[in-house]
Structure formats: C-alpha cells, structure tokens
Amino acid sequence: MAAPSQPQKSTYDVIVIGAGIQGSFTAFHLAQRHKDTLLLEQFLLPHSRGSSHGQSRIIRSAYPQEYYSRMMPDCFRLWQQLEAETGTSLYRQTGLVMLGPPGEPELEACRRNLGVDEVLDAAALSRRFPGFRLQAGQVAVLDSTAGVLFADRALRAVQEVFRRHGGTLRDGEKVLSIQPGATVTVTTTAGVYKAPRLIITTGAWTGAFVEQLGLRLPLQVCHHHGSPTDPEKRDQVPSSAPRPDIAVLSSFISSYLPGLETQPAVMETCLYTNTPDEDFILDRHPKFSNIVIGAGFSGHGFKLAPVVGKLLCELSLGEEPSYNMAHFAITRFPGVLGAAQ
C-alpha cells in the first residue's frame, strides 16, 4: 500500500479490483509481466469477510472434469514457485481418499483423470490408513498428490511477491463506480484511477459490481450446505443458528473415522459464490473487451488460483489463453446482457 506521505499515482497499465486469492494471483502474473498494476481491496488487510481467509484449503489433482485436472500440474508448479520465492511453506502433502460405490461415474472419472488403476477395498484402505472404516458396498481411490494449502499464509505470500515486482496494493478503498471506455475510470473512497485494462475479481460482491456494467450474472452467494446470503449481512447470522454443515461433517467422522472427536475445535465461515453449473466465469465483458471478469469459483477455486490468475492476465493482455476457455464463458448463461438492453 502506498505510504500516506507519497503523492497518489492515478494512472496504471492494469487495475485489479478485489485482493482475494484470485485477484492477488492475477496481479502477481501481471507484475511479473512488467505491467504497472494497481490491486484494490475494499477492506483493510488481512480480513475475514470474503472467501480467501482461514487456515487451510484442500489441493488435489482429482476432478471428475478433465479440464480442471489438466490445470493441476501447472497449479502445483506455480505454488512451488511461490514457496521458493518467499521461502515459506504453503503446502503439506497428505493424500486424499475419495469414497463411493464401485463404478460410481464421478469416482471413476476422478480415477481416470488421475491416471491411477488401483481401487482400494475396505481391507486395503484399512492397511494403508488404519483409522478409516469403509462402509459396506464402498471402495476408495487415492489421490497421492493432494494435501493442504495454508490459506492465510498463501494470500500474504502472493501479495508480497506482487509488491516485490513493483505492484501497488491499496487496501481500505471501496470502489464506488466504474466508467467503461478505451480508458477505464475507477472511483474509490480515496481517489480516481485510470487504466486501459480492468479485471474484476470481487467474489461475493461481483454481481453488484457488474450490474453497473450492464451484466446480470447468475451468481448466488451461500455458505457451504447453507442458505443464500448477502455478503454485507453475513455477520448478522446469529451464532445459535443451526449449522447443517457441521452436522454433516460430524456424522461422516463418526461413521468413517470412529477414533476421532466429532465436534470441531475451531469454526470459520467462508463465503461461496456459486454459478448454476459450478464452473468458473473467466471471460472478457461481452461489450467492453478491456474489462475481464473472474467470478463464481463455487467453493473449489483456491487451489486453482495460480492458473486462474494466469488466465485472467492473458485475457486482459489480449493473448491466447493457455487453456480451453469454453467452460468458463459468460455467454453460456442466457440473458446476461439483459440489463443493458
């Protein structure tokens, strides 16, 4: 963040709004490409209002969708690069066990995309992981690449490297308006900034942001296994409210890991911003090609943030993206331009 005594610069090559993990990795890639980049965040950092805070996130190669599995080697490489550049441990390899009936289509797709042949029955799983008790009629597939990302630490690390490469991070600045054009003008509570390129990665706040740009994206914000919520009112949920997600986890632990305590020691709330098909939105605005939107990470975006940032960077610079973007197009949803007609 610029020191208060410094004159405030107003013109950049690219402005990124939203300094969660997706926006921070996008800014990181832009700065590495020697683009003068401004990263704006409405809250003072660090904060726990969005989707990128907390101690941990899962990372795995196993996906039923081949297009996500295909991105994971690049993700692991970029996470390792960030670890090396910051001298910080960001990933702990633990392995991941996926359970289901033999031949279940999603489990089979994960196994195929992992490129593993072995399916573990109850005895084989118990030998490998003595604490597990498989239910009758179930088998397991092991993703040995999987593990835990240290979320808070990862976010700090990528922002640190962004700054080290000359990027500007300004927190505590809420964006009030966006004026599209060949040069985009962004007005915040603290200043007015201009750039020929804008990238919006504002998580649960994206729907409201893009409405002023004539877009209606089918985004719903909800707690996992919870109810849709307004990101401005998430703290108003009473602490005594029922937590169906905790009940699901407790029931799973008592059934499959009977030696463990079933109640959590720590609980943290993280907002999910879901699309109807649970695929991401990574695309240029249909009318303003110099405005790029990354949204709708549907609870499985953190691990993929290094590649998401790379793709949003490429889209913003007008380059051919590194991966097939068909599944991430804004126009796959009907009526998105309805507000502009």
Q: What single string gives the DSSP state of each residue in 151-206?
A: HHHHHHHHHHHHHHTT-EEE-S--EEEEE-SSSEEEEESS-EEEESEEEE--GGGH
Average pLDDT rounded to a whole number, residues 30-49: 87
Which residues make Cβ contacts (< 8 Å) with residue 155, sequence separation at least 6? 20, 21, 24, 46, 52, 53
Report which of residues 270 and 120 the model is more confident about: 120
Cβ distance 188 to 15 under 8 Å?
Answer: no
**Spatial contact of 149 and 302, defined as CB atoms under 8 Å apart:** yes
Q: Which residues contact 41 (CB under 8 A, 6 or more apart)?
A: 18, 19, 23, 169, 170, 171, 172, 173
**Residue 78 CB coordination number (10 Å):** 19
Position 1 scores a pLDDT of 46
Cis peptide before 238 (omega within 30 of 0): no
Torsion over CA: 50, 54, 59, 62 (sign): negative
Bridge partners of 39? Answer: 16, 169
pLDDT of the residue at 341: 39
- Buried-exposed string 234-258: b where 16+ CB fall within 10 A, e elsewhere: beeeeeeeebeeeeeeeeebeebee
Q: What percentage of the chain carries pLDDT values higher than 90?
A: 77
Looking at per-residue pLDDT, the higher value among 231 and 146 belongs to 146
What are the residues whose beta carbons fall under 8 Å from the beta carbon of 325, sequence distance 6 or more?
A: 282, 283, 311, 315
Give me the residue label for tokens 């573990």: 120
- Comparing C-alpha atoms, which of 146, 154, 115, 116 is closest to residue 21? 154
Segment 69-127, tens digit of pLDDT: 999 999 999 999 999 999 999 999 999 999 999 999 999 999 999 999 999 999 999 99
| pLDDT band, residue 267 (cuts 50/70/90) | confident
For 322, how many CA atoms within 13 A lie in the half-sphere containing its CB? 15
State the DSSP string of 50-102: SSS-SS-EEE-S--SSHHHHTTHHHHHHHHHHHHHHHT---EEE--EEEEEST
Grouping H, G, I as helix, E, B as strand and the rest as coil, residue 31 is helix
Query: pLDDT by residue (tens digit) across 1-14?
Result: 444 444 579 999 99
Q: What is the mean pLDDT of residues 322-341?
A: 86
Task: Tell me the two tokens of residue 8.
Answer: 């405030």
pTM comes to 0.90
pLDDT level of residue 45 (50, 70, 90 thresholds): confident
Q: What pLDDT, on a 0 to 100 scale, did the predictor assign at position 55? A: 77
| pLDDT for the residue numbered 272 | 75
Mapped onto helix, strand or coil, the DSSP state of residue 139 is strand
For residue 53, the model assigns a pLDDT of 57
